[in-house]
Amino acid sequence: MSKVKRNQIIAYSLLSLAAALTVTILLAIVFYIMSRGLAMINLAFLLEEPRRMGAEGGIYPAILGTVYLVGVTLLLATPIGVGTAIYLNEYIREGLFKKVIRFTTEALAGIPSIVFGLFGFIFFVILLRDITGGWSIISGSLTGVMMILPVVIRASEEALRNVPNPLREGSLALGTTRWYTIKKIVLPLAFPGILTSLILSIGRVVGETAAFLLTLGGSLLIPRTLFDGSRTLSLHLYMVAMETGNMDMAFGTGAVLIILIIIINFLAGALFKRLIKRFS
Amino acid sequence: MTEQTNKSIKIEVNQLDFFYDQKQALNKISLEIPEQEVFALIGPSGCGKSTFLRTLNRLNDLIHKTSLKGKIKIDGDDIYHSSIDVVQLRKSVGMVFQKPNPFPFSIYDNVAYGPRANGIKKREQLNAIVEKCLRQAALWDEVKDRLDDSGTSLSGGQQQRLCIARVMAVEPDIILMDEPTSALDPLATLKVEELIHELKQNYTIVIVTHNMEQAARVSDKTAFFLDGVVVEVGETDQIFTNPKMKETEDYITGKFG
Amino acid sequence: MQQTLKKKAANLEERIVKIILIIMALASVFSIGLIGFFLFKEGLPFVWNYGITNFLFGTTWNPTNQIYGIFPMIIGTVLVTILAIVIGAPIGIAVAVFLAEVAPARLTRIIKPMVDLLAGIPSVVYGLFGIVVIRSMIRSLAHGPLGEYLPGTYQTGYSVLAGGIILAIMILPTIITISADAIRAVPKEYKEAALGLGSTDWQSVYSVVVPAAKSGIITSIILGTGRALGETMAIIMVAGNTVQIPEFGWQGIFAPVRTLTGNVALEMGYAGPEHRQALFATGIVLFIFIMILNSITLALVKKEH
Ligand SMILES: Nc1ncnc2c1ncn2[C@@H]1O[C@H](COP(=O)(O)OP(=O)(O)O)[C@@H](O)[C@H]1O
Ligand SMILES: [Mg+2]
């Protein structure tokens, strides 16, 4: 066998090995967490309140906290993010304003979550305490909005860009206003793409911990209003693992988280496939 | 002949220059387009026909870094004057594109799109408009039983007639057509040409075409474009049988690249 | 003309919509302005009062006695980040080349969602896995065969190494996805030209395709670095969080360390006023690290065009 031929075989074996390693790591993490966590999951675990700081009992408040936080964050971030994308893609052309917005979105996307946490803490939790209730779902959500805004903006812009231009021109040429064209043609066509971005943002909020550590407060009580402190599943996992040392409870929570993330990724993937079909 | 000279001027173009960024695409275009006639624009590709057409409904406004000099008047109004509402302008100057671009909803909703945008909500009224326009576009008999099917499910020729019906539903008085049959087979082309013939009675039509026979068949007047300039304009018969300019002759006899 | 072309009473809806959209578009500018402002407002006066060199290069962190030197945390952050890149980048790039150039489409379709899933797993789950699996493995090494060479505090498994490995796994998706995109974006003709000259497939990938995708690959590494620098939860869970500078030498990777992010997350909850300002100042240092990285990426992208 020639030397070049042999080099190719060695190189490709190493590349395959790297891929195999990556897949193995993923499967190892998922299976390990599941194998230790699934046994914990039952109705009581999901629907009961925790006892002894979460070392015993269920994770119900954390589930509620996650749902509230995700809901409020998306409710606020969606109009702002999609609105920004519409303005950038449908109303203005390349130029200073667009550059500034693009730069700030990039910068916002790069900021570490703990820095968002610092800001959320000093601004929403301390400064606006009278409005937000201090450590609360509202404070967490407002911080979360800032974090997922870049994701929503970028993905929505992408979705808007994919709407064929002849359809826009066709509508405008009929003497409709820009906004009417956006409402009736552009947004409906971009909808699956925007939805994909929103689903991925849910993943981001569910997976985020550092920022919410400083803004949600980590209360174990069932939140009664959006102005109450709370904790998410991720935060719960962290606190249980680090404070009570009961790893089984942490693994149970971890398994719930992984199942959630798998569902989210599956939904986003399915939507994305439909999207590709539509435009090809 | 006397019948044509009596017609009043619908569109008056005066010393029109158009630029994409630095690049000049139209150069000192002056044309008069009479009412209720078919006016054809011919010329090699890239010579500025589409650009010119799109200045008439200000669709070029949507393209970044374009600029325009000179005047275009429709019924005496300068359409680039600041008092003009572009949306109103586009309602009275409809456009049919080179590639059929039906919206991805039902045939019915495609035709009803314009009227709805204008605030017509009553079902009977919309029904009437849809039927009338589809009949005018010679599409009614083919689609009357499947108005709820998607507009994109039609054949290319049917799609183009749907787009024409969609334009008519807005009741424009000018219709711009940019190579409306270039994506269609000969039979579909024939149908659209017949339609253009019908439409002439109610509309002023400006049509860009690549196809010389088509220009000869459907139009009353023809302008020959070359590199952003109008080389020659006149009665279609005269342009095709007795062109005055050497370039025009070369082009219509096919000597041109 | 049947319809008048003159402007109707200016279209109100259109105008209002536009104003609302502008306000929304300004929200992200506003956010970053606010974040920057409050971060610096809280942290900067402290840095001035305490002294910038004392703060950055002080080796003792003892808030109870008003001593705030973050040098050990800077070292800790740099060490785990470098380790993460050293481990993660080669593997990530290899996987990217594999997916973009070697693997059959069917295999890529299976692996791609897995890489996405890797990106979606919450960092606390990585942390949990890190404590229970990776840290235990390192502990049995550090407490066992290497025990006689390492000080007792280096034998717990909570270490630079544990942090580096977990971060390496966490940055894999970033590096794989962006590098693979860059490699796929290289025009097919490049490779065909090389193949036409008689190169083997691997030679053309190695000497033509990968170099052509260089700036994308570098961008992926920088973004991965940013992710590693900014990661908080997973690293707190496995790195040990001791404020000390690791021994110089191989033993150092078994040392427990605290990162800048960890410092903030661990102490914010109970910090008094001055202590809190010191933590904001820590945030500023982190912020500046990230901004430097971002500018490098931006410069790279610019050079590309
Ligand atoms: N959107 C555009 N941006 C820049 N240049 C354009 C654009 N559209 C057309 N052009 C240029 O303007 C000239 C005229 O184009 P066009 O009007 O489309 O010609 P025709 O329709 O006669 O084929 C061509 O040189 C073309 O390259
Ligand atoms: Mg054209």
User: Contact C7/B171, CB-based, under 8 Å?
Assistant: no
Looking at CA atoms only, how far is residue A130 from chain C in angstroms?
18
Q: Which candidate from C1, C2, C6 shows the least CB-CB separation from B85?
A: C6
Q: Does B62 touch chain A (CB under 8 A)?
A: yes
Query: Comparing A144 with B2, which gets the higher pLDDT?
Result: A144
How high is the pLDDT of residue A268? 86
**DSSP letter string, B51-110:** HHHHHHTTGGGGSTTEEEEEEEEETTEETTSTTB-HHHHHHHEEEE-SS----SSBHHHH
The answer to whether position B4 is within a domain reads: no
- Give contacts of B117 with chain A, Cβ < 8 Å: 174-177, 180, 184
Evaluate whether B81 touches B71 at the Cβ level (below 8 Å): no
CA distance A264 to A49: 25
CA distance C125 to A64: 19
Tens digits of residue pLDDT in B101-157:
999 999 999 999 999 999 999 999 999 999 999 998 889 999 999 999 999 999 998
Q: Which candidate from A168, A169, A174 shows the least CB-CB separation from B117?
A: A174
- B29 Cβ inside 6 Å of ligand 1: no
Q: Which stretches of chain C drop beneath a pLDDT of 50? A: 1-2
Same domain, A82 and A111: yes
Instruction: Give the residue among B175, B151, B208, B160 at the shortest CA–CA distance from B91.
Output: B175
Q: Does A176 touch chain B (CB under 8 A)?
A: yes
Residues 179-218 of chain A whose Cβ lies under 8 A from any Cβ of chain C: 179, 203, 206-210, 213-214
User: Contact A257/C17, CB-based, under 8 Å?
Assistant: no
How high is the pLDDT of residue B27? 94
Looking at CA atoms only, how far is residue C123 from chain A in angstroms?
7
The answer to whether position B171 is within a domain reads: yes
Domain CATH number, residue B195: 3.40.50.300
How high is the pLDDT of residue C30? 93
Length of chain C: 305
- B19 Cβ inside 6 Å of ligand 1: no
User: Contact A265/C116, CB-based, under 8 Å?
Assistant: yes
Question: Using CB atoms within 10 A of its CB, is residue A168 exposed (0-12), middle (13-18) or buried (19+)?
Answer: buried
Same domain, A91 and A198: yes
Output the CA B24–ligand 1 centroid distance in Å.
Answer: 10
Cβ contacts of B124 within 8 Å, gap of 6 or more: none
Cβ contacts of B163 within 8 Å, gap of 6 or more: A170, B96, B97, B100, B101, B102, B110
In terms of residue numbers, what domain contains A29? 3-38
The answer to whether position B1 is within a domain reads: no
Tens digits of residue pLDDT in B47-64:
999 999 999 999 999 898
Q: Does A24 touch chain C (CB under 8 A)?
A: no
- B50 Cβ inside 6 Å of ligand 1: yes
How high is the pLDDT of residue C1? 47
Nearest residue in chain C measured CA to CA from B81: C6
Which residue's CA lies nearest to atom 25 of ligand 1? B46
The answer to whether position B102 is within a domain reads: yes
The answer to whether position B198 is within a domain reads: yes
CA distance B98 to B100: 6
- B67 Cβ inside 6 Å of ligand 1: no
User: What region does B76 belong to: left with phi over 0, alpha with psi -120 to 50, or beta?
Assistant: left
CA distance B19 to A155: 33
Domain CATH number, residue A256: 1.10.3720.10
Q: Which helix (H) or strand (E) holds B13?
A: strand B9-20
Same domain, A24 and A111: no
How high is the pLDDT of residue A189? 93
Residues 238-257 of chain C whose Cβ lies under 8 A from any Cβ of chain A: none
User: Contact C115/A22, CB-based, under 8 Å?
Assistant: yes
Q: Which candidate from A100, A208, A241 shows the least CB-CB separation from C29?
A: A100
Question: Using CB atoms within 10 A of its CB, is residue C133 exposed (0-12), middle (13-18) or buried (19+)?
Answer: middle
For an interface test with C, give the residue of A66, A118, A157, A205 to mutate (most C CBs within 10 A): A118
Bridge pairing between strands B77-78 and B23-34: unpaired
Looking at CA atoms only, how far is residue B43 from chain A in angstroms?
23
How high is the pLDDT of residue C260? 96
Looking at CA atoms only, how far is residue C275 from chain B in angstroms?
53
Tens digits of residue pLDDT in C192-241:
888 888 888 888 898 899 999 998 999 999 999 999 999 999 999 999 99
How high is the pLDDT of residue B159? 94
How high is the pLDDT of residue A169? 96
CA distance C252 to B2: 101
Q: Which stretches of chain A drop beneath a pLDDT of 50? A: none
3-class DSSP string for chain A: CCHHHHHHHHHHHHHHHHHHHHHHHHHHHHHHHHHHHHHHCCHHHHHCCEEHHHCEECCHHHHHHHHHHHHHHHHHHHHHHHHHHHHHHHHCCCCHHHHHHHHHHHHHHHCCHHHHHHHHHHHHHHHCHHHHCCCCHHHHHHHHHHHHHHHHHHHHHHHHHCCCHHHHHHHHHCCCCHHHHHHHHHHHHHHHHHHHHHHHHHHHHHHCCHHHHHHCECCCCCCCCCCCCECCHHHHHHHHHHHHCCHHHHHHHHHHHHHHHHHHHHHHHHHHHHHHHHHC
How high is the pLDDT of residue C296? 84
Nearest residue in chain A measured CA to CA from C223: A110
User: What is the best residue among B19, B20, B226 to mutate for testing ligand 1's pocket, by most ligand atoms within 8 Å of CB?
Assistant: B20
Domain tally, chain A: 2
- Which of the listed CATH numbers 1.10.3660.10, 2.60.40.420, 1.10.3720.10, 3.40.30.10 matches domain C52-304? 1.10.3720.10
CA distance C228 to C234: 10
Q: What is the pTM of this model?
A: 0.89
Structure tokens at C37: 């402002």
How high is the pLDDT of residue B42? 94
In terms of residue numbers, what domain contains B112? 9-252
User: Contact A22/C42, CB-based, under 8 Å?
Assistant: no
Same domain, A47 and A30: no
Confidence category of residue B2, pLDDT binned at 50, 70, 90: very low
Output the CA B14–ligand 2 centroid distance in Å.
Answer: 21
The answer to whether position B89 is within a domain reads: yes
For an interface test with B, give the residue of A174, A186, A189 to mutate (most B CBs within 10 A): A174
Nearest residue in chain A measured CA to CA from C104: A16
> In a 3-state reduction of DSSP, which class is residue C62?
strand
Average pLDDT, chain B: 91
- B47 Cβ inside 6 Å of ligand 1: yes
Domain boundaries defined on chain C? 1-50, 52-304
Cβ contacts of C115 within 8 Å, gap of 6 or more: A22, A26, C95, C172, C173, C176, C177
Looking at CA atoms only, how far is residue B173 from chain A in angstroms?
12
How high is the pLDDT of residue C5? 64
Sequence-ordered alpha helix ranges (H) in C2-70: 12-50, 52-57
The answer to whether position B184 is within a domain reads: yes
* ipTM for the assembly: 0.92
Provide, rounded to the nearest whole percent, the portion of chain B with pLDDT above 70.
97
Confidence category of residue B3, pLDDT binned at 50, 70, 90: very low
User: Contact B103/A173, CB-based, under 8 Å?
Assistant: no
- Pairs of CB atoms within 8 A across B/C: 32
* Ligand positioned closest to the Cα atom of B48: 1
Q: For B17-34, give one letter per residue: b (16+ CB within 10 A) or e.
A: ebbeeeebbbeebebebb
**Residue B23, phi then psi, degrees to nearest 5:** -80, 125
Tens digits of residue pLDDT in A221-242:
889 899 999 999 999 999 999 8
How high is the pLDDT of residue C10? 53
* Ligand positioned closest to the Cα atom of B49: 1
User: Contact A166/B97, CB-based, under 8 Å?
Assistant: yes
- B45 Cβ inside 6 Å of ligand 1: yes
Average pLDDT, chain C: 91
Domain tally, chain B: 1
